[in-house]
Structure 1
């Protein structure tokens, strides 16, 4: 019987009050109700301590991660005001810890926190509401103030006593609530990453991270005396084409005519390198993971000024197209840190800003400093310009290869008729479909007669395929074997370089198989073909390995017959264990036949049957190691190859065919 819907009346409309505004909807405030949201709540408390330090009050911040899952942030600033507020007719602790949109950062003309990371007045209160418990110890005006909260509610009011220390500051300790967040286990790597970034953009401030969550207590200290300049030098690692340039400036303006003016402080550090690349933007100390205004400014300024330099020096060939920011980015290490008295973040997580004036001011700031730099350092300008042109030529060549590959692999219609000797399966259920990549036509015949044609397809590899680790893309995509394999897989190829996917030709959603199974003989030739196939997948479609789609079908090494039964041993230790188990019983043993010599029943039993076969899932580490060894054995490192053969050659003597 269908349930009768509830009446929708005036009384159906309700509002969340107090702590429920956060506890029931944490994702609205923190961007997620999972571990990312929990991590952001930690950053909200840290950001308040950073604001104090940047205003010149205290140059040391302590962050501690405890075994019980709680966190403490302590600063040595002025200590937050928590006593009675005559203007508001309430205690300040109520406003700071229990009131959304309350704080000392709202007045545009206020002296406190002119350039502040936390502007919305949400962080401390929201984090308190989202905590299982929170304590606060504040030292100011000669007093020690103490507060306790549990699940968003104060317990015990404000405790006040004469301070026993001279230093002022605030120490907030709390435990994120597992009833609010689905995951509160924020990894230590998050703390280290965030704290290091804050050290980068807050020059001279020392951050001490104490991790007591593991078996051993670990203490890590971060401090960059010269801020982003020291950081860019660290990233460049003495391998840059040009020295680090540091520049800074201020500006004042507005986003719209009907809005008031606000102030902006800008600083940037950059150099050019053909070894390392980096683009990072910070605003009011917050890392802008998605950029926004500064990102657009950098792209406009660098392309404009480098393009102007290339034209002025006649470095473009006749009819050559203009450089793009991709060409610049491939050799650029750039970090900017800006502050403004008004900031428009995309949301509370502060991963991008949208201020129109900040974009305009930073564009002009960077264009001016690049123009001066190119005039003052013409040799460095020429060096970086030539590198940008090299990057441009590489990109254009890669684009041609990519378009050619896309054209070759684009059509997926009637694939069975277009790919020679490919045998499809009947099922259209992607969760069941398997593709066996087998060695040669003889193995193809054995697998074809033994497979379950409902869900198992076959793709034979005729001979040894190209070593994709060494070959360039032009040569790779002239190989019919490789292009046929890619067509059969159906998901395209990843040619973005530097770990980036080329989304125009690759889409893992188009993969036509739940398992890609490499099936070769258990001999030297079989291992080499398996390695070549694995190397091809690692080079062209690494996501298949990363997502766990690639398997190796183990073939038995030995067939052992005893008492009328046949047993299979897949390894030497398995053979030894079996012979030990049968004791003195009579047996015959022989090396297992190649795939093409096996009868259908044996192939099904040992290689195809999901109930009895052995599949090894290929991990990214396996593929990487395979590529390294393959490169060692067939690549250009002659000395390394000789050393490897000297150390390991004896292991393969039994495999040699010297008859």
Structure 2
């Protein structure tokens, strides 16, 4: 246990760190798992800063079974010599003094992620125990801390433990020499146990965010290798499988490769890389070595900008921004400059090509430009200003103008280039953003004109819609049926109070391959979205949908399955909240009707089967029982069913069977739709040929 002695020595070391322990939320945001992870980021970022400066190419993070975590790097190693103003070693200064380190004034780091000089000392203050080892100058040096106070732990044979007896330093600190290494061997190892007095009982290191952060850092620092090892008892997934214990990340392609990884859709353009730099003046307080006071001086800064971006065929937007490899999820001045430059350049280019693009006088909005955009925006500058220690928002004002200038120049050169490849890709981008603008305007008009408050408003809907009478959207159902023949049977078979029927003509447009403009120009697709009445794409409003269930009613054959797939593609691409909300269904009509004869004057029993295999099994079972039956009636389509048969099997709420369409993995769903319905034929052919049970003889050609 810790010593109960309390001397002036303790006061001088702890006076600054006591504020951290009393108000930890000011420094790490919270005292739950999120704050615990933030402490870990601080230690990792110190090692990453070394790699950014060209020192060290490998970082290892190990989650120990006893709840501690260790970060190892192969960088220069923390300074072990005496810092003249405090008389303490560099190791002790870094881990016990707030706002102390090599990241002020640009002396040791041109740019860094740990920028306030409080990261290591805050982690130390909030740790029950922290051990640091440094390989430097041919030796291994070590120092330990207990809740920010330097001293020594009297560990037993079981190894280091935060509950071991702690002996604080009183007369002076000692950096212990615990081993010898070669002169070329350098690096730092930090292992700490979070303080249970500070953090909540359920706070724990989370593997998934750690892996995600390691992967992100590997993308942002090309050539840096990060290894994550988890020695804790691993949780298992639903299938009983445990995650990999060791995961390693290294990417040499930088943020260009990062964009390809983040993109949720197929590429419309190549990944564009735009780089540049800009200088600006900033007034900052600087320590005067003669007087020891802070003096305000104007210094010149350089901000380096590196942007990778590409447009895809979808409409989802992924934009991530970073400052000195630190993620800024809430943006800041660098992202503001990116948005402003992107909007201005695209508006200017559309205006210059308005006649060719048939853009009219409508004005592009940010969402039109961002549709399908995946971008990574990174800036590097010394001593950036963040809003808070958690570094979620960049506040340096001059960065906005630097980013805006670099991106404006880069994009303008790309859009005005005479190279054939650049002209082709910039043309695709302009066509996409204009198409998104037209889709937004059309969706807005559709939304404004097609919402209904009563059944009387249905007069503005397509004339072929057989609407229901009820205005209760939670009970209403829309059946999308194939062809007028099916409409002729389904219309009298429905419950007209709650069930509406919309017929379509055969196979609709494959919207996975088509543009937004082509989709809106297609009568069938436009009618479906118009009848649903909730807009389309990013403007889709689930609360405005006119029906509680959207039911696809197609024939029980291959063509019917194809039509159902085309309809699901439309809904997935332009009305996805319907599927995510569990409001899309596929009806299950029978394929055969068999009348089993009864003895005497009793009526025969009617049995419906839903596949050829099921029908064959039924006949075999009846024959074995010695029962006779008429030749099964096979329905070639819904139009061959009598009204009462369709009502009984498919539309009667009390007797029908519906299959709900759901999405459990959005990313995987996107991949499958692109595979089965997209433009790239080769992967689809490979998927079909390698499918289990594939028989070339059954292909209808």
Q: TM-score when scaled to structure 1?
A: 0.69
CA contact (8 A) 2:227 2:248 kept: yes
Among 441, 464, 467, the alignment partner of 2:509 is: 467
Of 464, 481, 486, which aligns to 1:438?
A: 481
Structure 2: 5+ residue stretches without partners: 1-17, 149-161, 169-174, 235-241, 286-294, 599-603
1:359 is aligned, of 379, 400, 413, to 400
Displacement of 1:353 in angstroms is 0.9
Separation (CA, whole Å) in 2 of partners of 1:607 and 1:403: 37
Structure 2 counterpart of 1:3 = none
Asked whether the 8 Å contact 1:53–1:77 carries over to 2, the reply is yes
Superposition deviation, residue 356 in structure 1:
1.0
By how many angstroms is 1:651 displaced? Answer: 3.4
Greater mean deviation of Cα atoms: 296-305 or 87-96: 87-96
CA contact (8 A) 2:311 2:429 kept: no
Question: Per-residue deviation at 1:518?
Answer: 1.0
| Structure 2 residue aligned with 1:549 | 583
SS of the residue corresponding to residue 179 of structure 2 reads: coil
2:364 and 2:482 map into 1 onto residues whose CA distance is 46
Aligned mates of 2:595, 2:121 — CA distance in 1:
75
Q: How does 1:495-534 map to 2 (within 5 A)?
A: 501=538, 503=539, 506-534=540-568
Q: 1:520 to 1:291 in 2, by over 3 A?
A: same
1:609 aligns with 2:604: no
1:486 to 523, 529, 551: 529
- Which residues in structure 2 correspond to 1:78-477 (within 5 Å)? 102-105=98-101, 109=105, 111=107, 115-120=111-116, 123=119, 136-139=131-134, 142-147=140-145, 156-157=165-166, 161-166=176-181, 167-172=186-191, 180=200, 186-188=206-208, 190-202=209-221, 205-210=224-229, 214=242, 216-222=244-250, 224=252, 247-248=276-277, 250-254=279-283, 261=298, 264-269=301-306, 281-298=321-338, 335-341=377-383, 343-363=384-404, 384=422, 387-388=425-426, 391-411=429-449, 412-413=451-452, 414=454, 415-419=457-461, 420=463, 421-424=465-468, 426=470, 428=472, 430=474, 432-440=475-483, 443-444=486-487, 456-464=498-506, 466-469=508-511, 472-474=515-517, 476-477=519-520
For 1:9, the equivalent position in structure 2 comes to none
C-alpha deviation, 1:615, in angstroms: 1.5
Quote the residue 1:75 is aligned against. Answer: 73
Q: Is the 2:505–2:524 contact (alpha carbons within 8 Å) kept by the matching residues of 1?
A: no
> Any idea what SS the aligned residue of 2:304 has?
strand
Q: Deviations over 1:258-303 (max 9, x none)?
A: 9754553322346897889996543132133444222333455678
Q: Distance in 2 between matches of 1:38 and 1:611?
A: 54
Q: By how many angstroms is 1:492 displaced?
A: 0.7
Q: Structure 1 residues 122-131 or 161-170, which shifts more?
A: 122-131
Cα separation, 2, equivalents of 1:602 and 1:323: 49
User: Structure 1 residues 362 and 524 mapped into 2: Cα distance closer, same or farther (>3 Å)?
Assistant: closer
1:577 and 1:399 map into 2 onto residues whose CA distance is 55
Distance (Å, rounded) in 2 between the aligned partners of 1:330 and 1:180: 41
Q: Is the 8 A contact 1:247 1:267 kept in 2?
A: yes
- Closer, same or farther in 2 for the Cα pair 1:81/1:630, shift >3 Å? closer
For 1:175 and 1:610, the matched residues in 2 are separated by: 59
**Structure 1 residues 591 and 330, CA gap change in structure 2 (3 angstroms):** closer
Q: Distance in 2 between matches of 1:425 and 1:156?
A: 79
Partner-residue secondary structure (3-state), 1:164: strand
Judge conservation of contact 1:149–1:155 (CA < 8 Å) in 2.
no
Count, aligned residues: 605
Structure-2 change in CA distance of 1:558 and 1:428 (3 Å): same
186 and 453 in structure 1: CA distance in 2 versus 1, 3 angstrom threshold: farther
Cα distance change on mapping 1:591 and 1:625 into 2, 3 Å: farther
- Cα distance, 1:571–1:315 mapped onto 2, change above 3 Å: closer
Does the alignment pair 1:571 with 2:611?
Answer: yes
- Is the 2:59–2:74 Cα contact (8 Å) retained in structure 1? yes
Does structure 1 conserve the Cα–Cα contact (< 8 Å) formed by 2:473 and 2:548?
no
Deviation at 1:65, TM superposition (A): 5.0
What is the aligned partner in structure 1 of residue 155 from structure 2? Answer: none
Q: Which moved more, 1:594-603 or 1:461-470?
A: 594-603
Q: Any gaps of 5 or more consecutive residues in structure 1?
A: 1-15, 495-500
